[in-house]
């Protein structure tokens, strides 16, 4: 049975969904951009020996939004994840992240090698970068977007089905997968429904890390690492990812059929890799 959790951190309230026995292998799962904890609804029940806790990232799902006037920098999610682990009372734990969440958990593993047992990523390894020459334009646009927020008309859908259709159109997800995310991602707005997601998450980032900075983090990951890519997903098409792979000493890369959400669209192949991976002790070989 799934449990709804509320984690109180020093600054924010984070919502989460949890599966598995309280004394199971602790795994903290982090979803992708504009998704929510329901991203793992299909996968988590297939990992019965794991205490699987899936967060709603700040600004997503049922978690708190950041205060007014504050941007969502990639690195600001890192202390939120550490605070969530602390709130759970987990000194040693493993991590699983999808897309944006994959980038986040990689950075957590890099800075806390003494706490992270194992780290698995699905379709995500570090944050996106941009051309350094675009930095001034990105910062200006981010400020303009923030200033225009109060005048922005946010979408309102007449019913849940219309919101699911919009999500399918935007992401290419199947109806069932989109419905899983949308159910947790909507809130009543007047006579219709709007997104719970903080609209500031859609803004251009005011500052991107450079590729050399990201590679420095990849090189600090000591935990055994597993990266799952969809054959039709994002990562397999990006040549620069090869250097990121090369910097992680204990990385195994697996390609599964499917697109950007293989764990949600067809969870069993991901579960067959992740179950043995999280159960193995350091230094042991797994089927991954």
Q: Specify whether 99 is catalytic.
A: yes
Question: Which one is catalytic: 39, 63, 99, 270?
Answer: 99
257 Cβ contact partners less than 8 Å away, ≥ 6 residues apart = 230, 231, 232, 266, 269
Cα separation values, 147 from 69, 141, 199, Å: 9, 10, 13
Neighbours of 4 (CB within 10 A): 10
Three-state secondary structure of 131-147: CHHHHHHHHHHHHHHHH
Nearest 10 degrees: Cα torsion 259, 265, 268, 274: 60
- At residue 11, the 3 state secondary structure works out as coil
247: tokens are 């910097």
With residues binned 3-state (H G I as helix, E B as strand, rest as coil), the percentages for the chain, rounded to 5, are: 40, 20, 40
Closest listed residue to residue 122, CA positions, set 227, 237, 203: 227
- The residues assigned a catalytic role are 99
């Amino acid at each position: 049975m799934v449990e709804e959790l509320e984690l109180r951190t020093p600054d924010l309230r984070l919502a989460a969904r949890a599966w598995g026995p309280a004394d199971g292998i602790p795994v903290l799962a982090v979803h992708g951009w504009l998704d929510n904890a329901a991203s793992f609804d299909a996968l988590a029940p297939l990992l019965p020996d794991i205490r699987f806790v899936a967060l709603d990232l700040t600004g997503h799902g049922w978690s708190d939004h950041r205060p007014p006037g504050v941007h969502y920098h990639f690195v600001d999610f890192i202390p939120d994840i550490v605070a969530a682990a602390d709130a759970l009372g987990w000194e040693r734990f493993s991590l699983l992240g999808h897309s944006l969440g994959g980038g986040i958990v990689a950075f957590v593993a890099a800075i806390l090698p003494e706490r992270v047992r194992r780290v698995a990523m699905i379709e995500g390894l570090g944050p996106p970068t941009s051309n350094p020459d675009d930095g001034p334009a990105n910062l200006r646009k981010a400020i303009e977007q923030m200033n225009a927020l109060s005048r922005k008309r946010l979408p309102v859908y007449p019913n849940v089905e219309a919101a699911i259709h919009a999500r399918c159109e935007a992401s290419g997800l199947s109806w069932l997968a989109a419905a899983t995310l949308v159910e947790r991602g909507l809130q009543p707005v007047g006579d219709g429904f709007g997104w719970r997601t903080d609209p500031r998450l859609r803004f251009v980032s005011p500052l991107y890390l450079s590729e050399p900075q990201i590679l420095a983090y990849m090189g600090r990951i000591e935990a055994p690492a597993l990266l799952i890519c969809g054959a039709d997903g994002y990562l397999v098409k990006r040549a620069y990812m090869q250097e990121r792979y090369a910097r992680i000493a204990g990385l195994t890369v697996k390609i599964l059929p499917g697109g950007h959400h293989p764990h949600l669209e067809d969870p069993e192949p991901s579960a067959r890799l992740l179950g043995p991976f999280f159960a193995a002790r350091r230094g042991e070989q797994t089927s991954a």
